[in-house]
Structure 1
Amino acid sequence: MGLPQFVLASASPARRRLLQMVGIEPIVRVSNFDESQIQTENATELVETLARCKAEAIAPQFDSALIVGCDSVLLLNGEIHGKPENAEVAIARWQHMSGQVGELYTGHAIIDQPQQQILVRTQVTRVYFAQMSDRAIRAYVATGEPLKCAGAFALEGRGGLFVDKIEGCHSNVIGLSLPLLRQMLSQLGYEVTEFWDR
C-alpha cells in the first residue's frame, strides 16, 4: 500500500506554512464549512467538532488520503473568541486582552481514509498578552492582521510583538500543533518523516 496523499482542509496560509516549514507539502482544499452551525460554550468541544466537520466536508473529494482539519479559538476569562467580525470588535477585544492571560485551543482532526479511522485531539497553549496602549491597539488593528486570526492576533506576524510569553506548544498558537500532529500520525501507524518532500 502506497502512502496516502496529505490533505489540509484549511484556508489558513499560516497552517500551510507550518507544514511546509517541516517538509510536508500538503494538498490544500478549503472546506467552506459554515461554522455558525456549531454552538457550544465548551472550547474543546467546539474546536474538535469544527476540525472534524471541516475534514469531513472535503473527504468526498478523495479516495485514499489523510485529511487534516483544524480550528482555533481563544478562551479569555471564560469567554470563547474566534476571528473578530470587524475592526471595532478587534479593538474592543484587544482592550480586553491587554495584560491578560488567555488559552489558545486548537482542535485537530485526521481522517485516515485507507484505514477508515478518524482521530480528533485538542492542544491548549497559555498566552500572556502585553499591556498595550490604545494607540498601539489601533495601529495593530489598522494593519488588518487581527481580523484574519482566532483571538485577533498572529503570533508569527506583528502580533508577536504583543505577546510577552507562551506556555506550551508554540506552533499550536499559529494554528497547528506540530508535536500533536506527529503523535496523531504515529498513532495511525505513520512516521511523519514519510511525508517529507513528496
Structure 2
Amino acid sequence: MPFSVAHNGIRSETNHISQLVLASSSPRRQELVASLDLFLPVRILSSDADESVPAEWSASQVVENLALRKAEAVVATLQHEALADRGGSGSSLVIGADTIVVLDGEVLGKPVDKQDAIAALSRLQGRAHEVFTGVALVDSATGQRSVKHQRTQVWMKPLSTERITRYVETGEPMDKAGSYAIQGLGATNVERIEGCYFNVVGLPLSLLSDMLADYGINVY
C-alpha cells in the first residue's frame, strides 16, 4: 500500500519520489544536503530564476518567494527533460533555498567588489544583524509545495579597518551575502549567534528535515 502523509491538511502519495533535486549551485548547500546521508539520490540542478523583488516585501517574504521561484524553475526544467526523454523520467522533490543578510531593515547582498565588501563589513562590525533563509520543497509529479523560513541573529565583533581589509583580501567574502562566511575564516569575526548555525551557512538542516518528513522522507 502506498505510504502517505498529511501535509497542510492534504493526504499525498510519497512513494513515487525517486530523487531529491537541489536547486542551487552553492557548494555549501550541497555539502549540507549530503551530510544528511538520505536514502534517495541527490541531483544538483542550479536555477536561473528571476531574483528581483518588490521593495516593500519583508525579509521573510523575500526569502520564501525566491526559494519557491528557484524550486519551481527547476521543476520546469525537469518537466522539459521528461518531455524530451533526456533522463528526466521519474518524479523529484525539488529543494529551493535563498539566504539574505539584513541590517537595520536593509538587505545586504553579495559585494560587487572589494570596496563594497569593506563597506558592508564596516557596517556589520560591532553590531547584531539578522540572517534569513527560505526553504521551498516542490513535488515535480503532484505540484505539492511547502515553503518556510528560518531566522538567526548574528553578533559580529568590533573590527578595525585593517582587519576588515585583510579579511577581504583573502577573497572569501566576494561571493557571500553580507560579505562574510561563518563556515570559513569569517567565523573568527563572529562573536555569537542566536538561532540555527546552518541557517547562516545557507540551509537550516533542522527546518529542512522537518519539511522532508512531511513528504515521508526521514533523515534517520
| Partner secondary structure for residue 116 of structure 1 | coil
Counterpart of 2:211 in structure 1 is: 184
Q: What pairs up with 1:20-99 in 2 under 5 angstroms?
A: 20-24=34-38, 26-35=42-51, 37-41=52-56, 42-62=58-78, 64-99=91-126
| Partner secondary structure for residue 137 of structure 2 | strand
Partners of 1:12 and 1:154 in 2: CA distance:
13
Partners of 2:208 and 2:142 in 1: CA distance:
17
Contact 2:173 2:181 in 1 (8 A): yes
Q: Is residue 155 of structure 1 aligned with residue 182 of structure 2?
A: yes
Contact 1:16 1:26 in 2 (8 A): no
- Tell me by how many angstroms 1:48 deviates: 0.8
**Unaligned segments of structure 1, at least 5 residues:** 194-198
Counterpart of 2:32 in structure 1 is: 18
| Partner secondary structure for residue 188 of structure 1 | coil
- Tell me by how many angstroms 1:2 deviates: 4.5
More helix by share: 1
Percent identity between matched residues is: 39
Partners of 1:6 and 1:22 in 2: CA distance:
12
* Compared CA separation, residues 22 and 189, structure 1 to 2 (3 A): closer
CA radius of gyration, larger in? 2
Letter in 2 for 1:44: S
- Tell me by how many angstroms 1:33 deviates: 1.9
Letter in 2 for 1:192: V
Q: Is residue 110 of structure 1 aligned with residue 110 of structure 2?
A: no
For each residue in 1:169-194, what CA deviation from the matched residue of structure 2 results, as whole angstroms up to 9, or x when unmatched?
1111000000000111122332233x
Letter in 1 for 2:61: E
| Partner secondary structure for residue 38 of structure 1 | coil
Partners of 1:40 and 1:106 in 2: CA distance:
18
Contact 2:127 2:155 in 1 (8 A): yes
| Partner secondary structure for residue 27 of structure 1 | strand
Contact 1:75 1:103 in 2 (8 A): yes
